[in-house]
Structure 1
Amino acid sequence: MSDFSWKDVANALSLANMILGLFSIFCSFCKKSSCASWMLLISFLLDMAVGAVTRHLNICSKSGAELNDFAVFTTFGLASALLLGVDGPLNGFLAAVYVLAIAFRLCFYSTGTPFTYKGLPCSYASCVLASTSLLTKGNTFILSCMASLMILFMMDQSYYPHDEVLESENWKKMVYLGGVVMLFLSPLSLTAFYCLTWSLSYIFFPDALWGEAACLQLEHGRY
């Protein structure tokens, strides 16, 4: 396939990610939190595929990057925030703060340090909220607590390694494949627990498990 065709593939994946986010928003408005959360978990895995295709083929373009940022904001920002519900003023306020945190986080991504993200990536925060929603059957209090914690992690000045799961060790690829298989073949509660464990391991043990080599390369570059 030509370079132009591969760009179309990457853009199509980003567009599919955004469409899933829009359907998740629709499900949230229809009070179907399980369906909305399930679509966000699909988007979590799809976003990794978009990044892997773009980096592996070196086909990043300005229009493609803008489309991907818009898809990320729609899916991991708006759609994820609506899981909190907007029935009351406190939930609505927290949802608005969450969306603003995503927008602020995307600005850091555009000017970030090589080999790392500055602040927790939006996709992992969304995965935590979607998994928590499925495990707690949409308990708004627990979701609000988790959302507040995710906002703090996204606004944190700590560095998180690039999650190049599909371009790294074989065990990481197996983790990704396990998520895909469980998402479509396992009960939602088991899938949610798997994805929650995966995300929390990245949040609390980023260097030890998911990017030690990248962080060491970054440290050597500083000296």
Structure 2
Amino acid sequence: MLNHVVKAIPNLFTIGNLICGVLSITLNMSGYLEVACLFIFLSALFDLLDGRIARKLKVNSEFGVELDSLADIVSFGVAPALLFHSIAAPSILTSLAFILFPTMGALRLARFSVKPTIGYFKGLPIPAAGLPLAGMGFFLYSNAWITLILALLMVSPIRVKKL
């Protein structure tokens, strides 16, 4: 019984990440843009802790890895893209950035899921792409070019050292 509880602890942090992402989307839709940004940052805290706790407790699982990817696409792909879209002036470039950002994030997560790397990430991790958008959003600033560059960096061949 205690073993099942211990195994669930990291997944609870992952669910916290997901809930914060969903709350960010909800707050954004209600016009509370700065608070929506803060929930993306809170998602990052949960995301940072879930993996560390799983390794510390030695309860890593495939389920946890997949759940983490699903939470990340919401919290660091969809939520920041919607935030960007809410602030940006309408244009074809804005629409392209809005579509490509979560799409490239999903592709990056799928690539990592199929072929994990040790010691480094191939492409910019989705939290590292989503957090700058949340930071810009907090100051009600948007830039389609920055959003597009971050999207492309997620699927680029660059290596980023794991924290």
TM-score, length-normalised on structure 2?
0.88
List, as ranges, runs of 4+ consecutive aligned residues in structure 1 with deviation greater than 4 Å: none
> Deviations for 1:59-96, whole angstroms, at most 9, x for unmatched residues?
12222222211111111111111111157353233211
Asked if structure 1 preserves the Cα contact closer than 8 Å seen for 2:100 and 2:148, the reply is no
Asked if structure 2 preserves the Cα contact closer than 8 Å seen for 1:3 and 1:59, the reply is no
AA of the residue aligned to 2:73: F
Unpaired segments of 5 or more residues in structure 1?
164-223
Q: What percentage of aligned pairs have identical amino acids?
A: 25
More deviation, 52-61/33-42: 52-61
Query: Which position in structure 2 is the counterpart of 1:4?
Result: 4
How far, CA to CA, are the matches of 2:129 and 2:145 in structure 1? 12
More deviation, 50-59/115-124: 50-59
Query: Which position in structure 1 is the counterpart of 2:76?
Result: 76
> Deviations for 1:160-215, whole angstroms, at most 9, x for unmatched residues?
1111xxxxxxxxxxxxxxxxxxxxxxxxxxxxxxxxxxxxxxxxxxxxxxxxxxxx
Unpaired segments of 5 or more residues in structure 2?
none
Query: Which position in structure 1 is the counterpart of 2:63?
Result: 63
TM-score, length-normalised on structure 1?
0.66
How far, CA to CA, are the matches of 2:120 and 2:54 in structure 1? 16
Asked if structure 2 preserves the Cα contact closer than 8 Å seen for 1:27 and 1:35, the reply is yes
RMSD in angstroms over aligned alpha carbons?
Answer: 1.8
Q: 1:113 aligns with which of 113, 117, 126?
A: 117
AA of the residue aligned to 1:132: M
Q: What is the Cα deviation at residue 108 of structure 1?
A: 2.2
How far, CA to CA, are the matches of 2:3 and 2:126 in structure 1? 28
Q: What is the Cα deviation at residue 157 of structure 1?
A: 0.3
Q: What is the Cα deviation at residue 98 of structure 1?
A: 0.5
Query: Which position in structure 2 is the counterpart of 1:103?
Result: 106
Query: Which position in structure 1 is the counterpart of 2:140?
Result: 138
Equivalenced residue count is 159
Query: Which position in structure 2 is the counterpart of 1:35?
Result: 35
Q: 1:93 aligns with which of 80, 96, 103?
A: 96
How far, CA to CA, are the matches of 1:133 and 1:74 in structure 2? 16
Greater relative contact order (CA < 8 Å, ≥ 6 in sequence): 2
Query: Which position in structure 2 is the counterpart of 1:196?
Result: none
How far, CA to CA, are the matches of 2:12 and 2:33 in structure 1? 26
Asked if structure 2 preserves the Cα contact closer than 8 Å seen for 1:83 and 1:138, the reply is no
